[in-house]
Amino acid sequence: METTTTERRRLFATEKVGGRAVYRLQAATVAAGILLVLYYRATRVPAAGEGRAAWLGMAAAELWFAVYWVITQSVRWCPVRRRTFKNRLAERYKENLPGVDVFVCTADPHAEPPSLVISTILSVMAYNYPSEKISVYLSDDGGSILTFYALWEASMFAKKWLPFCRRYNIEPRSPAAYFSESEGHHNLCSPKEWSFIKNLYEEMRERIDSAVMSGKIPEEIKLKHKGFDEWNSEMTSKNHQPIVQVLIDGKSQNAVDDDGNVLPTLVYMAREKSPQYHHNFKAGALNALIRVSALISDSPVILNVDCDMYSNNSDSIRDALCFFLDEEMSHKIGFVQYPQNYNNMTKNNIYGNSLNVINHVEMRGLDSAGGCLYIGTGCFHRREILCGKKFSKDYKEDWGRGIKERGHENIDEIEEKAKSLATCTYELRTQWGNEIGVKYGCPVEDVITGLAIHCRGWESVYMEPQRAAFVGVAPATLAQTILQHKRWSEGNFTIFLSKHNTFLFGHGKISLQLQMGYCIYGLWAANSLPTIYYVMIPALGLVKGTPLFPEIMSPWATPFIYVFCVKTLYSLYEALLSGDTLKGWWNGQRMWMVKRITSYLYGFIDTIRKLLGLSKMSFEITAKVSDGDEAKRYEQEILEFGSSSPEYVIIATVALLNFVCLVAGLSKIMAAAT
């Protein structure tokens, strides 16, 4: 009876994923096969001058693959899934819920169109949550008047959009996604009202897109908000003063929608930029948002999303709070991470960007080890923990505090104070970017920040609701895919080679299983070298007649064939179970090879160059838009080789080498047979 009562109090449940007995059987047999392969390599080394160097290289590559395979099993041994009880949350807390600050980051109005950004903004303003407890902050690292104009337009449109969402409980609440998905009007909505709201949205989007195309804001528009006065002709994206503008003040009596309901607070921030100071990319923007939001709203919960990652589930906040407010486990939980999903995936996942296996298998396995990764978007943090608080068994969050009281200050005075928190010099000689806030010095600031939180004693949870919580835009060309994975592999490898290496930094702080889980991604870049060796040397050996594998009739061929076949079949099983198609899995296998010999290779080289002081860290934005021809080819699932790039040279060279060697090898075999 006591257990039943306890279970009834819980706001979430943790369930083990089934099928582990079959998995462990195949893992044990594959491990045995790998050991036999390594034994064969070690006991049959040829004499000098008979291909010994190539043989030893193959042995080293296979040893590396064996070690990496063991590391990947850490997240497959005992994965879990989470289930929340939002009805219990509502019964227990009713509307006595904590405030939530939502951070959205953008940096370039051309790579990240403002019309796309505001759809994300509108979606997070429209959560199924008390509007007076939501504060939305947009960080514009480009300091663009075009982005500010788009946000001002969104603040006007929100007065009609939010009541429309609430009235008909629509999903998704991004207007761009909603109107593109719905073929006709909503079942509960009259065609006239549906068309009216749609026309308002399309007219707003056209005005924004026209302004971006022309690069100018109409003078009559500039008169409608004082914020436009912040810009002058001398400002550039890399040199401008701090700008903080509150477009909707949720505490003002005038901040109401067309139904008379309170609107969420909406704030624009462009932190100061100067060529004399390093701005620390997205991490610097997030830390500035932490400080500015602490002055304006100071909500105990922070959600950060990428500008293209709109809210697809209006209950995501309530799902996250089921973990933060659970009476049994909440004191351990530092952040709640949602998966990264995309709305522009082709049926067969042409560029292998769906992340399905990572989302459905690996992140669940990390969750069982005490903490999934913080992946930089779709993540709910507790403010105090993000700001450096260490775990304590006695710690208890004060969820009862509401949005920060303003006192006698008016909004103009608050904006001026907030600007001082977003200057280039504010962080000098402080612990910001080190012990406080998001960490600096790494291209994947999210992963290293999550690791630091775990090493301070906190756990994290991975929440994958039936309806995706956040949906974004995946790279739609090969060049964009290679660029994105280069940045990811470079950043994770930088962590692996730094003092934050999980086996060193995490020793005694996080479990060995979680240490290994982080290394799956930390060693992406290092995988490039043995992979390139393995795809080139056997082909050359075939031409030279150097035997690098046992003869097909030899018993020693069995472990090679078994390991290859079972690993491939289990990979197919995981992909199909995660929602991929058979062709989608095959495309993923192809892109697995392409990424290893291009993205990961360049990530490896760039990381080593930085460690040697030969280059500096940079941050390249993955474009969120493609031109018409590229988009058409992507929809038709035609591989995009539309630009010249050194990466394409590597792909072509490896493919051509293997083709030529195959033809030459077969010719020799046929000649010998005759």
Which residue reads 């504060």 in tokens? 135
Report whether 141 belongs to an annotated binding site.
yes
> Strand 333-337 and strand 379-382: pairing?
antiparallel
User: In the chain, how long is the greatest CA-to-CA distance?
Assistant: 98
Annotation-wise, does 282 bind a ligand? yes
Spatial distance between the Cα atoms of 94 and 103, rounded to a whole number of angstroms: 25
First to last CA, the chain: 82
Kindly give, in sequence order, each residue whose CB lies less than 8 Å from that of residue 205, ignoring residues fewer than 6 positions away: 115, 176
Contact 193, 140 (CB under 8 A): no
d(CA 460, CA 517): 14
Residue 319, marked binder: no
User: Any catalytic annotation for residue 258?
Assistant: no
> Is residue 556 a contact partner of residue 40, using CB atoms and an 8 Å limit?
yes
- Catalytic site residue from 249, 308, 367, 446: 446
Residue 214: name the closest of 145, 117, 273 by CA. 145
Q: How far apart are CA 149 and CA 225, in angstroms?
A: 9
Annotation-wise, does 112 bind a ligand?
Answer: yes
How far apart, in whole angstroms, are the C-alpha atoms of residue 616 and residue 585? 36
Cα–Cα distance, 488 to 482 (Å, whole number): 10
For residue 357, the 8-state DSSP code is H
Burial (0-12, 13-18, 19+ Cβ within 10 Å), 657: middle
Strands of the sheet with 310-311, listed across from one edge: 310-311, 470-472, 341-342
CB 127 within 8 A of CB 316: yes
Q: Which of 140, 141, 308, 326 is catalytic?
A: 141
Question: Please, which residues bridge with residue 270 across strands?
Answer: 243
As given in the structure block, the two tokens for residue 581 are 């198609």
141 is an active site residue: yes
Q: Which residues are annotated as a binding site?
A: 112, 141, 282, 306
Annotated binding-site members for UDP-alpha-D-glucose: 112, 141
Catalytic residues: 141, 446
State the binding site for Mn(2+). 282, 306
